Chains A and B, each alone.
Chain A
Amino acid sequence: MADPDIFPTPTILALGDSAILVRFGTRLTDAANRAVIALTGLLEHHPIAGVVEVMPNLVSVLLRYDPLTTSPTLLQGELRLRLFGLAGAMDAPAAWDIPVVFDGPDLDEVSAALGLSQDAFIAAHNAAPSRVLATGFAPGFVYCGLHEAMVLPRRTAVRSSVPAGSVLFAAGQTAITATEMPTGWHVIGRTEFRNFDAAATPPTLLRAGDLLRFAVAP
């Protein structure tokens, strides 16, 4: 199995009759997310026959397969072989500069809740690069983090719509919207960066594991 000193031991679960989920934890931790990124990279270099799609999530990797050509048992055997080699499998991440206008409607509330001035919050938020943890929920929507010292719950009220390029903050994570969508996260700013273009191949730019360098837009 994956090196227990580096990565948590995964649980392999059936998700319906055409997919299995390799889950490295039931809570979002840095180690679980790193294991997801490592396994996703490994499966790209060493694909498993019969797997038709690999989807990395915050703490798990979904493998869709064709039940007419392969069996879950066969897949799990192949998976175990690959999990043995997981320790050194990280690809070098890409780095991106994300200029942000920090003028979101919830910036005051977020800073106050963390006991920081706005400037101090922005400085803390931008101090170190954030890792892309996963894409999900909506086209090109990315979760980044983790800001383990700045954990806030989501808002109690959901905003029915925020524009593409909104920079959101909750649960120790920063998220960037790529489409217009409803959200219960705190809106702290906006960026010109767009992670989704339906006409492009692939349609998103960011991959889990990439590093985002947030900065105050000039």
Chain B
Amino acid sequence: MSAVIQIQRAGPLTSIQDAGRFGMLAHGISASGPMDRGGYAAAGALAGAGLGGVEFTMAGLEIFVASGRCRVGFAGGHFVAHHNGRAVDWFGAVALEAGDRLAVTPGAWGNYGYLRFDGDIVAQRMMGSIATSSRAGLGGLEGRALRAGDVIALEGSGGAVSQPAPLEPGAGPIRFVWGLHADLFPQAARQGFVEGAFAITTRMDRMGVRLDDIGEVFGGASSLSLVSDAIVPGDIQILGDGTPIVLMRDHQPTGGYPRIATVITADLDRFAQMRAGTAVAFEPVGVEHAQALLRSG
């Protein structure tokens, strides 16, 4: 199987991703990888995918098959897909021939969607991965976002096709474990974090999501001077002006702002798919509970 795909239209945050560039934190590089790992995996199962995939946002995406043929699987949040102008069920797969077009526009929920193909995306591996890091400007295609006119070559035969469980937007509070600096926050702030009202803002990208602290739980400017320390995806840091930011896949590897909490792995995909304006509540859990949730899938 081989094919050449041309990008006809792409939003500013469209990128090539794979599972992630792990093991490079000591060199100052975070792992990147899909904002919604479950969505990425589901698209892969539907396609019988090879290496890598294309992550796109609510700005949508349109591709054109310049040559060859391939199977494309799509999943993630909810989007609307048209194959040569004909609507196809979202969360599925289609066979594409040379000359075909697949257009994706926003749907009912979610920020991120994935296209995956039954072949490997041809891109130079950087430190073992083709994932694009928007922060370090490496991986993917020249370390940058995809744009109209870019060409992606596919080669190889991919893997087995399977039918994953349908994706749901999910509901309920976002669960967290108390963070590295939770003990530095006054009890009132910790309580406010658990009981307070927060909302997703439009200031979101692959590095982080800024929250609207509606009840001004963190209203007071803080002047904590902390030694720079390791960051993990899902860490919630509070800026000097009180703005909470949830750090995401392209997070900086170390940082010096106080971190009150870390979103659990099991809820991070769901959090990434929450649209701007959505209310979000936080609920503390223990590490063991967070891990039990991971094991139960």
Chain A interface residues (CB < 8 Å from chain B): 13-19, 21, 23, 25-28, 52-60, 62, 64, 67-68, 71-72, 134-141, 143, 178-179, 196, 198-199, 201-204
Contact = CB atoms under 8 A, between A and B. Distances in A.
Contacts of B263: 16
Interface in B212-235: 226-230, 232-235
A175 to B, nearest CB: 11
Given A67-B291, A138-B252, A13 B228 contact: no
Q: 6 nearest interchain CB pairs?
A: A136-B254, A17-B290, A16-B262, A62-B230, A55-B25, A67-B291
Nearest to B124: A199
Interface in B233-275: 233-235, 252-255, 262-266
Given A16-B234, A17-B287, A139 B136 contact: yes
In this complex, the interface size class of chain B, counting residues with CB under 8 Å from chain A, is 35 or more
Nearest to A29: B227
A62 B265 CA distance: 17
A55 B294 contact: no
Contacts of B290: 16-17, 67
B229 A57 contact: yes
A135 B26 contact: yes
Nearest to A140: B28
Q: Considering residues A14, A26, A140, A199, which has the most beta carbons from chain B within 10 angstroms of its beta carbon?
A: A14
A137 to B, nearest CB: 5
Contact of A204 (B23, B28, B226, B264): B28
B265 A17 contact: yes
Contacts of A140: 27-28
A21 B27 contact: no
Interface of B: 22-29, 126-127, 135-138, 177, 179-180, 226-230, 232-235, 252-255, 262-266, 287, 290-291, 294-295
Given A26-B227, A68-B295, A16 B26 contact: no
Given A23-B229, A143-B228, 4 more contacts: A15-B235, A67-B291, A68-B295, A135-B26
Nearest to B285: A17
A28 B254 CA distance: 14
7 contacts: A17-B287, A17-B290, A21-B230, A54-B26, A55-B26, A57-B230, A67-B290
Contacts of A62: 25, 230, 232
B254 A139 contact: no
A7 B177 CA distance: 29
A5 B247 CA distance: 38
B294 A17 contact: yes
